[in-house]
A and B are shown apart, each in its own frame.
Chain A
Amino acid sequence: GNSVTQMEGPVTLSEEAFLTINCTYTATGYPSLFWYVQYPGEGLQLLLKATKADDKGSNKGFEATYRKETTSFHLEKGSVQVSDSAVYFCALEDNFNKFYFGSGTKLNVKP
């Protein structure tokens, strides 16, 4: 079946550090891949997405590349800010428009 696995948190970084949050998936067919972010007290917001292999999604300095050969969609940012502190969810959408989410990774960025 379809599933998403992402690294457990929390991840604690200092401001301006490099961020990687790993995400791998299992899916049949040709899924689309997403990263959602949940800031404290708010709902999930779409951060970026990629709809086919080798696509790179990017937004707000974050990026992730759809790697079919490694079934991965790792999230990266070159220099994190305190305001990036949030919970990040990796997700896939299957051929039937159904979403599968990972367990979320909490990021804490210290000044």
Chain B
Amino acid sequence: EAGVTQFPSHSVIEKGQTVTLRCDPISGHDNLYWYRRVMGKEIKFLLHFVKESKQDESGMPNNRFLAERTGGTYSTLKVQPAELEDSGVYFCASSQLTPTGRDNEQFFGPGTRLTVL
């Protein structure tokens, strides 16, 4: 079974440009999460989809970030326009829905390393 995949693995762009990151979750996983790790600091939650709906987007830093999950399958995270402080590693994770919503293992992708120059 394929794991969570992310594309691209690396992206180097200039300040002001637009970048779109993609995440393909494990097939059948309704939960999809985006996280970010900036400069070796803690991994921070960005947002959570349940199927195609945004369940929690409290971690999105500002309106330059737009996440979508049309059809409830893969997700994209667009940064427009990118700023220097957006550099970091963006992780995607997916998990199954459980009756309690708790303790369901999140499976992570390898991450996309974004560098904004």
**Chain A: residues with CB nearer than 8 A to chain B?**
4, 32, 36, 41-46, 49, 51, 89, 91, 93, 95-104
**Chain B: residues with CB nearer than 8 A to chain A?**
3-4, 33, 35, 37, 40-45, 48, 56, 91, 93, 101-111
Q: In the complex, what distance in Å separates the CA atom of A104 from the CA atom of B56? A: 24
Contact B4 A46 (CB under 8 A): no
Contact B109 A43 (CB under 8 A): yes
Q: How far is the CB of B92 from chain A (nearest CB, A)?
A: 9
Q: Which of B33, B35, B106, B110 contacts A42 (CB 8 A)?
A: B110
Known: A43-B4, A43-B108, A43-B109. A101 touches B102 (CB 8 A): no
Contact A41 B102 (CB under 8 A): no
Q: Which of B33, B101, B102, B108 contacts A45 (CB 8 A)?
A: B108
Chain A contacts of B108 at CB under 8 A?
A: 36, 43-45
Chain A contacts of B105 at CB under 8 A?
A: 46, 49
Least CB separation from A106: chain B residue = B40
**Listed residue (A41, A44, A99, A103) with the most chain B CB atoms within 10 angstroms of its CB:** A44
Known: A43-B3, A44-B91, A44-B108. A98 touches B102 (CB 8 A): no
Could you list 19 further interchain pairs (A-B, Cβ under 8 angstroms) beyond the known A49-B105, A99-B35, A104-B40?
A: A4-B42, A32-B103, A36-B108, A41-B110, A43-B3, A43-B108, A43-B110, A46-B106, A49-B103, A51-B102, A89-B43, A93-B102, A93-B103, A97-B48, A99-B33, A99-B106, A100-B42, A101-B42, A104-B37
